[in-house]
Amino acid sequence: MSARFICENCKYEVSLEGDRCPFCGKEFYAVYCPRCGHEGLPNQFRNGCPRCGYMKEAIMAYRKRRGPRGRRGKTYFPRRLYTVAIIALLLGIAGLLVYIIFVLR
């Protein structure tokens, strides 16, 4: 069973993260557990129902499947990629300076 959350307002499936529906814009003030009836703030349900554990395994499997992520759901490039880009930029600037100094004299 995969973790699915449905917006009560527009009936679209929404992400586990976020406090607002991306489709209709309705803000989520509370989450309701269908198993035990516990109601609470969305951040209390990040790991499933805090009272009975409903959907805990599915949420953990979803997070494991999506891979490493940074803050607020953004994925970051490996540090190696940034290093290569900076070196390429510095080589380009050095080449431009050599061209200006030696060729355009």
- To the nearest whole percent, how much of the chain has pLDDT over 90? 18
For position 90, what pLDDT does the model report? Answer: 97
Question: Contact 63/52 with Cβ under 8 angstroms?
Answer: no
pLDDT tens figures, 34-54: 788 888 877 787 788 888 888
Find tokens 């540090």 and name the residue: 79
pTM, two decimals, is 0.40
Residue 55 and residue 3 in contact, taking contact as beta carbons nearer than 8 Å: yes
Give the residue among 38, 32, 34 at the shortest CA–CA distance from 51.
38
31-32/39-40 β-pairing: antiparallel
pLDDT at 84: 92
pLDDT, one tens digit per residue, over 62-102 is 777 766 554 455 566 778 888 999 999 999 999 999 999 98
| Residue extents of the structural domains in the chain | 1-71, 75-105
